[in-house]
Amino acid sequence: MKTLIIYKSVHRKNTEKLAKVMAEVMNADVAKVEDVRPEVLEGYDLIGFGSGIYASKLHNKLFKFIRKMPATDKKVFIFCTSGSGEFKKKQLITEKLELKGCTIVAEFNCSGEFSPLGFNLDKKGHPDENDLKRARQFAQGLVDLQQ
């Protein structure tokens, strides 16, 4: 199974950490969304889309990428990090991917460090080792699912 993980990680590179540990487990290619072109998706069996949560949704560059990608019947997974640890407005991305013909096979989210003006100090250090362990288990589950 050839896998590509596409991500956007801005603030503290929280989502990048998840993308990299998942890629290790899955032996996947990993790329920042701005470094990949939609036409390369054709060479992959499974595609992951990940981002931090900004104003309750995934980064706008991921939405732009999905708008540009051709219709496809690819299996995809989505993942995120957020200050709340929740995946709010998830339906925005799931609807766009489904309209493109994609099948969403899994999703993952965890806390990410974000402390504007000192708020969310309980999220300091996230994703932590436990979060990364869960991300590895999630990735292994995707590998097992495809076998």
Find, among 140, 11, 24, the residue nearest to 80 by Cα.
11
Q: How confident is the model at residue 146 (pLDDT cuts 50, 70, 90)?
A: confident
Strands 57-58, 46-54: parallel, antiparallel or unpaired by DSSP? antiparallel
* Cβ atoms of residues 124 and 22 within 8 Å: no
Q: What are the Cα distances from residue 133, in Å, to 7, 99, 136?
A: 19, 32, 5
| pLDDT of res. 11 | 73
* Main-chain phi, psi angles of 42, to 5 degrees: -55, -30
| pLDDT of res. 55 | 72
CB within 8 Å of 91: residues ≥ 6 apart:
none
Q: What are the Cα distances from residue 129, in Å, to 18, 21, 25, 134?
A: 11, 11, 15, 9
What pLDDT, in 10s, does the model give residues 68-98? 999 999 999 999 887 765 676 778 889 999 9
pLDDT of 119 higher than 70: no
| pLDDT of res. 85 | 58
Its pTM stands at 0.89
Domains of the chain with CATH codes: 3-146 (3.40.50.360)
What pLDDT, in 10s, does the model give residues 4-41? 999 998 877 889 999 999 999 999 999 999 999 999 99
Between CA 11 and CA 124 the distance in angstroms is 13
